[in-house]
Chains A and B, each alone.
Chain A
Amino acid sequence: MTNTPHISVQNLNLYYGTRQALKNININIPDKKVTSFIGPSGCGKTSLLKTFNRLHDSALDVRVAGKVLVDGENIYDKQVEVTHIRKKMGLLSQRPFPLPLSIYGNVAYGPKLHGVKDKPLLDALVEQRLKEVALWDEVKDRLHTPATGLSIGQQQRLCLARGLAVEPEIILGDEPTSALDPKSTHKVEELFLELKNKYTIVLVTHILRQARRVSDYIVFVYDGQIIEFGPTEELLLNPKEELTKDYIRGFFS
């Protein structure tokens, strides 16, 4: 690891009731790189991603033990304010969930929450973010129509723009292309490649080819544990662990 880590997970365990879903996770996620989590369904990828912005807080019967340091600060410390942590991260879920607002309202939502009231400034912000996700030209004439009127691919880019508008440092994507057609998928992947200059990107994906195309590092998760972590090509072409080998062979042969 050359860079200083942006997110550092230390001895993290997560329980749903009495069932342990994450077992002693330790990992350093590098700054301004794309790190992908791969692994079979149900191995705990989503659960892990959610610990990064404390989305488990509102769930009953979920217990998180251990540390997650973001910029060196343990986000599970009692004094840490949760909105402050979440503001640092933009989340993209498996399917897009636009807020029940207009296209404009979706992008402006975060900035408004955090105190931007000036209308011209908001307009400029919305335009900038929509351009950043290459959606501006498609929606500039209908900014004030419901966001649910967009196609799924457009909605996903809108959700990305919405996340970027709070000026996060980190983008968390949970299989963000799983509901998209190949063309929209390609667009979103391109976006990630562009965005990684400015943001640290953490991606969960089922698609090994996607992981290969966009990520700098890959983490292989199996049954709630991290089995292997390394630079993309190295891990895919030269896995050290048997489990990783089996998983990758399943895809490429």
Chain B
Amino acid sequence: MKKLEEQFFKTLMILATLLIVGSFFGIIFTILKKGLPAMNMDMITQIPQGGYYQGSKGGVLNAIAGSLFLALGASALALAASLPIVMYLNVYLKKSSVLGRITRLSFDVLFGIPSIVYGTFAFTLMIYFGNKASLLAGIITVAALVVPVMVRTMDEAFRSCPKELSDAAYSLGATRWETAKVLVLQAVSGIQTAVLLAFGRAIGDTAAVMFTAGFGDHIPSSLASPAPTLPLAIFFQLSSPSEAVQARAYASALILTFIVLVISIASRLLGKRLQKNKTRS
């Protein structure tokens, strides 16, 4: 009887794992199969011809650049906002204080809010202040969207630092701020994971940028110009009646997937370097 139970749950686990891994490869396979035929150098070196991606000539360089600017900007801004929050939660607030619990709970709630809500909220503000869609507006909106992911992931990394480590810093006469810096070093790989997750969410999000970052056929030249993004490009291309244009949507998806892949691998490598370098003083 026990044996049967064991066997049953083991099979269940294997099936679940296969399902996930299977869908992952399924997605990659679909994108490759449908995207590769439409893929060419023009896709990544040209801006679209024929307006809003509806032509079958030119490329999506504008959206690649826009997405990269937006995701990098939003990740940087979110990091600048999250790190102080996490330091405050973990070093300045006493463990399990009421304020700490409320803050963590609010981030959990914010995490569950769909990105369209962030987009609409930011859009309402923009109308109120009379601003047009721009790269900056997109960056701010997406930063707000990814701060909860970042805070929660970094918070876990900080919380897993042993108490004795901060005690060690304190007993050498470190102030709270100096102790916080030690914890940042200790948590560096967790912080890296947090930024990576945030970047992935930022570059893939469509709803938050639709109204705030806008779209256009050109590479954004300043923070004030509208920023086309890959997810929106895919959306436009896929909704085209022309099959040639639809195929280009898969090529765009291929590019987006590739960027995320490159960024995760690069940040892994960078993380290893950091791990070595941080010991250099």
State which of B23-31, B74-82, B160-168, B249-257 sits at the interface with chain A: B160-168
Nearest chain A residue, comparing its CB with the CB of B162? A97
Given contact pairs A59-B95, A146-B279, A86 touches B172 in the complex (Cβ within 8 A): yes
Per the bound structure, the CA–CA distance linking A104 and B281 in Å amounts to 7
Q: Can you pick out 18 interface pairs between chain A and chain B where the beta carbons lie within 8 Å of each other?
A: A55-B170, A60-B96, A60-B97, A83-B174, A86-B172, A90-B171, A91-B168, A99-B168, A99-B182, A100-B182, A100-B186, A100-B278, A101-B278, A102-B280, A105-B279, A110-B173, A114-B173, A162-B168
The interface bits of chain A over 34-48 (1 if a CB of B lies within 8 angstroms of the residue's CB, else 0) are 000000000000000
B189 CB, min distance to chain A CBs, angstroms: 10
A157 CB, min distance to chain B CBs, angstroms: 14
Is B178 an interface residue when CB atoms closer than 8 A count as contact? yes
Is B72 an interface residue when CB atoms closer than 8 A count as contact? no
**Chain A interface residue bracket vs B:** 20 to 34
Is B185 an interface residue when CB atoms closer than 8 A count as contact? yes
**Is there contact, CB below 8 Å, between B279 and A163?**
no
Task: Tell me the A residues contacting B by CB distance below 8 Å.
Answer: 53, 55, 58-60, 83-84, 86-87, 89-91, 93, 95, 97, 99-102, 104-105, 109-110, 113-114, 144-147, 159, 162-163, 166, 172
A50 CB, min distance to chain B CBs, angstroms: 8
Is B10 an interface residue when CB atoms closer than 8 A count as contact? no
**Is there contact, CB below 8 Å, between B167 and A93?**
yes
A47 CB, min distance to chain B CBs, angstroms: 13
Given contacts A83-B173, A86-B171, 19 further A-B contacts (CB under 8 A): A55-B170, A58-B94, A59-B95, A60-B96, A90-B171, A91-B167, A91-B171, A95-B164, A99-B168, A101-B279, A105-B281, A110-B173, A114-B173, A144-B280, A146-B279, A147-B279, A162-B172, A163-B172, A166-B172
Q: Kindly name the residue among B95, B167, B170, B173 whose own CB sees the greatest number of chain A CB atoms within 10 A.
A: B173
Per the bound structure, the CA–CA distance linking A245 and B167 in Å amounts to 35
A147 contacts which chain B residues (CB < 8 A)? 279
Nearest chain A residue, comparing its CB with the CB of B98? A60
Nearest chain B residue, comparing its CB with the CB of A62? B94
B168 contacts which chain A residues (CB < 8 A)? 91, 93, 97, 99, 159, 162
**Is there contact, CB below 8 Å, between A113 and B172?**
yes
A164 CB, min distance to chain B CBs, angstroms: 11
Per the bound structure, the CA–CA distance linking A58 and B97 in Å amounts to 11
A77 CB, min distance to chain B CBs, angstroms: 18
B281 contacts which chain A residues (CB < 8 A)? 101-102, 104-105
Is B124 an interface residue when CB atoms closer than 8 A count as contact? no
**Is there contact, CB below 8 Å, between B171 and A99?**
no
Per the bound structure, the CA–CA distance linking A119 and B279 in Å amounts to 17
Given contact pairs A101-B185, A102-B280, A60 touches B94 in the complex (Cβ within 8 A): yes
Is B169 an interface residue when CB atoms closer than 8 A count as contact? yes
The interface bits of chain B over 85-126 (1 if a CB of A lies within 8 angstroms of the residue's CB, else 0) are 000000000111100000000000000000000000000000
